[in-house]
Amino acid sequence: MKRSYGCATRRTDSGVTLIELLVVLVLLGLLLGVSGLAIGSLASPRESQRVRMLLATRAAAIRTGTVASVRVDSALVRFLPDGRALGPGVDPLTGAPDAAR
């Protein structure tokens, strides 16, 4: 008895098409672009030398518990130990530098 199993050919494609490759590359490009924009926006904005000097003097006045003074644009600004400020260019109650300058 002779058995015949027929001509069952099995075709296996092991690879990717050009369309699949392009889709993956486009998705990766979009992902990297969005990630790059998100990381770039995390950088803190630059503060001017004037603002850094005012903030450092205010912090020193609060830390030491004494009045601290700094001269900015030929004007004297004094910081009290409780965080208040006396002088131009700063908020008198909070001691925060004005954003307009």
Q: Which long-range contacts (CB under 8 A, 24 or more apart) does 56-65 make?
A: 58/83, 58/85, 58/95
Q: Which residues pair with 90 in a beta bridge?
A: 97
DSSP track, 6-24:
---------S--HHHHHHH
Digitized pLDDT (tens) for each residue of the chain, 101 residues in all: 566 566 666 666 778 899 999 999 999 999 999 998 888 778 767 777 888 888 899 999 999 999 999 988 788 999 999 988 988 888 888 888 876 54
Domain map of the chain by residue range? 49-86
In degrees, rounded to 5, the angle at the alpha carbon of residue 89 between the alpha carbons of residues 87 and 95 is 70
SS3 71: strand
Q: Is the pTM of this model over 0.75?
A: no
